[in-house]
Amino acid sequence: MARWTRIRSIDVHPQLWPSRKLLDEGATAEELFAKQASAVTELYSMHLAHADPVPAQTWWIRLKPVVAAHATRDFQTEPTRVSWSAGEVFNVAMDRAILDLPDDQRPGQYLDWLQRHLTRLAAARDWPVTGFEQAYAKCREDGVSFVWRGAPKASPNRRFAATPAYHFDSNGDCWASLLVQDRAEELVAQAGPWDCFPELRWIRRSARALRWIDSTHVHLPVWPEEFAAAWGLAPAYTLALDETLGIADQDPG
């Protein structure tokens, strides 16, 4: 008997390193499309987790953008027999024209492209689409822009609270910042943005890992160490406050 769960994650199998490094390596149109679209799929997945369940035999879907000649023409009506670790994976036709749009227009077009393929798949699987519709509407409410903050953490002397903030840009790159407020919730320092690993699961992990080293130094990891080492990126930053509550230093590492 098939085991049923709910769809909680949508991805396009993007390259995870920063887009500037991707361009330096001579990225293909498919790679750039997936990288840019990933900013939308991470936002979509965040909202899908709180939408009406879309029941399936796996918890994730991968729609890998390819040129039309290499795309899956029709989704099979029989659900893929999967384990808990496997997902529904398809090559789908990308819309090459989106890459040529201005920065502010691309996210909305990527969202519409994603929704078209998800509703096609839902029809083939006979899934209810309410959850997909709700996630789409929430993305539109957000302006198709991923902006998220973690919980504030108080300094040892309780004088300050540091909050990690994250956002994706239209190139699919994630950026992390640190906001420091006093007891009156006035902003006294801000640092970043810094390159950050572009996955929602890591972003939440990063926010949980924020820590005060002492009452004037706060530390935030921004990349898994193995990726940071391989790609020449800082795995973490430490923000130091000086006596006037200005930013004294932003040390990588």
Residue 84 has pLDDT above 90, yes or no: no
> What pLDDT is recorded for position 173?
97
Q: What percent of the chain has pLDDT over 70?
A: 88
Averaged over 221-228, what is the pLDDT? 95
Closest CA to 168 of 217, 252, 110, 226: 110
Q: How does DSSP classify residue 100?
A: G
Angle between helices 130-141 and 29-48 (to 10 degrees): 100
Q: Is there a contact between 68 and 93 (Cβ–Cβ < 8 Å)?
A: yes
Of 57-66, 69-78, 89-98, 125-134, where does mean pLDDT reach its minimum?
Answer: 69-78
Tell me: pLDDT of 2 over 70. Answer: no
Long-range Cβ contact pairs of 73-81 (< 8 A, separation 24 or more): 74/124, 75/120, 75/121, 75/124, 75/125, 76/124, 77/124, 77/125, 77/126, 79/2, 79/125, 81/2, 81/57
Residue 75 has pLDDT above 90, yes or no: no
The arrangement of strands across the sheet holding 60-66 comes to: 9-11, 60-66, 88-93
Residues 120 and 131: their CA atoms lie apart, in Å, by: 14
All residues at 6 or more sequence positions from 60 whose CB lies less than 8 Å from its CB, including other chains:
7, 8, 9, 10, 11, 87, 88
Of 91 and 253, which is predicted with more confidence?
91
- The yes-or-no verdict on residue 253 having pLDDT over 80 is no
Q: If you average pLDDT over every residue of the chain, what do you get? A: 89
**Rounded distance between C-alpha atoms, residue 175 and residue 152, angstroms:** 18
Q: Is 211 helix (H, G, I), strand (E, B) or coil?
A: strand
How far apart (Å, rounded) are the C-alpha atoms in residues 195 and 22? 14
Arithmetic mean of pLDDT, 222-246: 85
Residue of 86 and 114 predicted with greater confidence = 114
Kindly tell me if the per-residue pLDDT of 94 is higher than 70. Answer: yes
Domain spans in the chain, listed from the N-terminal domain onward: 5-141, 147-252
Residue 246: the pLDDT is 45
What is the pLDDT confidence band of residue 247, given thresholds at 50, 70 and 90?
Answer: very low
pTM confidence score: 0.89
Q: In this model, does residue 7 exceed pLDDT 70? A: yes
